[in-house]
Amino acid sequence: MSTVGKAITCTAAVAYEAGKPLTVEEIIVDPPKAHEVRIKVEYTAVCHTDAYTLSGKDPEGAFPSVLGHEGAGIVESVGEGVTNVKPGDHVIALYTAECMKCKFCKSGKTNLCGAVRATQGKGVMPDGTVRFHNKKGEDLLHFMGCSTFSQYTVVADVSVVAIDPKAPMDRACLLGCGVTTGYGAAIKTANVQKGDTVAVFGAGTVGLSIVQGAKVRGASRIIVIDLNQGKKDWSFQFGATDFVNPSTDLKEGETIVSKLIEMTDGGLDFTFDCTGNVHVMRDALEACHKGWGQSIIIGVAAAGEEISTRPFQLVTGRVWKGSAFGGIKGRSDMGGLISDYMNGKLKVDEFVTHERKFTDINEAFEDLHHGDCLRTVLDLSK
Ligand SMILES: NC(=O)C1=CN([C@@H]2O[C@H](COP(=O)(O)OP(=O)(O)OC[C@H]3O[C@@H](n4cnc5c(N)ncnc54)[C@H](OP(=O)(O)O)[C@@H]3O)[C@@H](O)[C@H]2O)C=CC1
Ligand SMILES: N[C@@H](CCC(=O)N[C@@H](CSC=O)C(=O)NCC(=O)O)C(=O)O
Ligand SMILES: [Zn+2]
Ligand SMILES: [Zn+2]
C-alpha cells in the first residue's frame, strides 16, 4: 500500500536529554510539504558531531530531537514543487544545503548556503514546524537539516542530492560528512598543491580524509599528530609520511610546535585542526610557516571556547581560516566525489571499522570513544 501523502510510523533513535542515551522507539513522520523530501534512510554513520551535540556542548543543541547527519537512503515521496529528486532516487542528505540561488550560493566564494540555515539551526523545517512526533504526540526537533537516526526523515529539497544508484549506500553515507569534510578541506579549502607540506592534528575520519586529499595532490610531507598511538598505522595507510604522538615523541624542552617547525625547515604550508581542541588549534596555527602558512580549523569546539594566539603570528603572514563540509557544494560536487570513490581514487570503505544494527545505536556512540573506531555504520533495516 502506498505511503505517499500519509504519516509513516517507524523506528527512530530520539535524543530526549543531553548526556543521556538515545531512546529507540516508534515515531510518526509526517509527509513532506512543498519543497520537502521524505527519505527512507537505509544507512547512517555516527559522526563525532552527533556525540558533541548529544553531550550538551553544542550551543545549537536542542532536545528532544532526532540526531544524525551522515546518511544515505531512497526517496519515498516528494512534496509539491520538488524537481531535483524523485521517488526511488538514491540520495545523500546534506547538512550544508545548496539552493543555487541565495547570496552565498551565487557568490562563488563559499559553500555555505543561506536558504535554510536559520531554521535548520533551530531544529525546524523552513516553515518553522517539525515532521517528527513521538507516540505521546510531542514534537521532536530535526538536526542539521538531516536527522538520519530515523528510518524515515524529511529534509528540504535543497538539502538532498541524488547519487549513482550503483554506489553502495552503506559506504556512500560517509560522504554525507566525515570523508567529504576532510577530503574537501585538503583539495578545496586549502587547495594543497604538489610539493606542499601538510600537518593534520587528529587522525579521525576527518583528519585521515585530509591525509588522502593531500596525498592525491602530491604533498611532499604529510605529518599526522595524534595522542593515540593506534592511529599511526592508519595514518600511513591513508598516505601520511610521518606520525608524531606528542605524549611520547617530544624530547625534553621540545613542544609540538617546535618539533614540527624543526621537521619542516621553518613550518608547514598547511595545518589542519580536526580535534576541536582550542589549544591544538593554536599549536596548528603556530606550526605554520612564517609569511604564508595557512591553518584550517575544522574541529568543532564546545560552547564558550575561544581561540587565541599572539597577533604577531598573523602579522607575520600566517593565516587562520575555517572549513565547513570541506568547502564542498553538496548538490554540485557530490557526483564527482561518488565517481572518485567508484573509480578507486577516494578511499571510503576503509573508514568503516564497525557495522551494527540501528537498534544498537547507543553502542555506536560508545564505539566513537574507543581508539579503534573510525566510523560505525548502522543498518536502519535492523
Ligand atoms: N567543520 C566541519 O565541517 C566538520 C567538523 N567536524 C568536527 O571535526 C572533528 C573531527 O571529527 P572526527 O574525525 O569525526 O572525530 P574523531 O573523534 O574520530 O577524531 C578526532 C581525533 O583527534 C584525536 N585527538 C583528540 N585530542 C587530540 C589532541 N589534543 N592532539 C591530537 N589528537 C587529538 C582523537 O583521539 P582520541 O580518539 O584518542 O580522542 C581522534 O583520533 C570533530 O571535532 C568534529 O565535530 C566533523 C565533521 C565536519
Ligand atoms: N552548532 C555548533 C556548530 C557546529 C558546527 O560547526 N558544525 C559544522 C559541521 S560539523 C559536522 O559534523 C559546520 O559545518 N558548521 C557550519 C554550519 O553552518 O553549521 C555551534 O553553534 O557552535
Ligand atoms: Zn559530521
Ligand atoms: Zn543558497
Dist CA 287 CA 136 (whole Å):
54
> What's the gap in Å between 255 CA and the centre of ligand 1?
21
Concerning whether 47 is annotated as a catalytic residue, the answer is yes
Q: Are 28 and 135 in contact (CB under 8 A)?
A: yes
Give the pLDDT score at 126.
98
Instruction: Compute the distance from residue 178 Cα to the ligand 3 centre, in Å.
Output: 6
* Cα distance between residue 261 and residue 44, in whole Å: 40
From the CA of 276, give the closest atom in ligand 1: 43
Ligand nearest to the CA of 69: 3
Q: Output the pLDDT for position 371.
A: 84
CA–CA distance from 339 to each of 23, 164, 318 (Å)? 37, 8, 35
Are the CB atoms for 93 and 120 separated by under 8 Å?
no
What is residue 369's predicted lDDT score, i.e. its pLDDT? 87
By C-alpha distance, which of 144, 34, 128, 116 is closest to 78?
34
pLDDT of 1 reads: 87
69 is catalytic: yes
Instruction: Delineate the domains of the chain, giving CATH numbers in brackets.
Output: 8-178+327-379 (3.90.180.10), 191-322 (3.40.50.720)
- Closest ligand to C-alpha of residue 59 is 2
Q: With a 6 A CB cut-off, is 211 part of the ligand 1 pocket?
A: no
- CB under 8 Å to 132, separation ≥6 — which residues? 12, 27, 28, 29, 30, 66, 139, 140, 141, 142, 147, 150, 154
What pLDDT score does 276 carry? 97
- Sign for the CA dihedral angle at 98, 103, 106, 110 comes to negative
pTM across the whole model: 0.98
Q: Tell me whether residue 373 is one of the annotated catalytic residues.
A: no
User: Which residue is catalytic, options 3, 10, 11, 102?
Assistant: 102
Which of 247, 215, 221, 199 lies closest to 371 in space, CA to CA? 247
Rounded to whole angstroms, the Cα distance separating 179 from 170 reads: 14
Side chain identity at 214, as an amino acid letter?
A: A
- pLDDT 10s per residue in the chain (382 long)? 899 999 999 999 999 999 999 999 999 999 999 999 999 999 999 999 999 999 999 999 999 999 999 999 999 999 999 999 999 999 999 999 999 999 999 999 999 999 999 999 999 999 999 999 999 999 999 999 999 999 999 999 999 999 999 999 999 999 999 999 999 999 999 999 999 999 999 999 999 999 999 999 999 999 999 999 999 999 999 999 999 999 999 999 999 999 999 999 999 999 999 999 999 999 999 999 999 999 999 999 999 999 999 999 999 999 999 999 999 999 999 999 999 999 999 999 999 999 999 999 999 999 998 889 999 999 999 8
Catalytic residue among 36, 42, 70, 286: 70
Is there an atom of ligand 1 within 6 Å of 325 CB? yes
Residue 287 has what pLDDT?
99
CA 48 to ligand 3 center in whole angstroms? 6
Question: What is the 358 CA–ligand 1 centroid distance (Å)?
Answer: 23
Burial status of residue 182 (CB atoms within 10 A of its CB: 0-12, 13-18, 19 or more): buried
Identify the pLDDT of residue 370.
86
pLDDT at 40: 98
Query: Is the bond into 31 cis (omega within 30 degrees of 0)?
Result: no
Pocket of ligand 1 contains residue 202 by CB under 6 Å: yes
Which ligand places an atom closest to the C-alpha of 113?
Answer: 4
pLDDT score at 382: 85
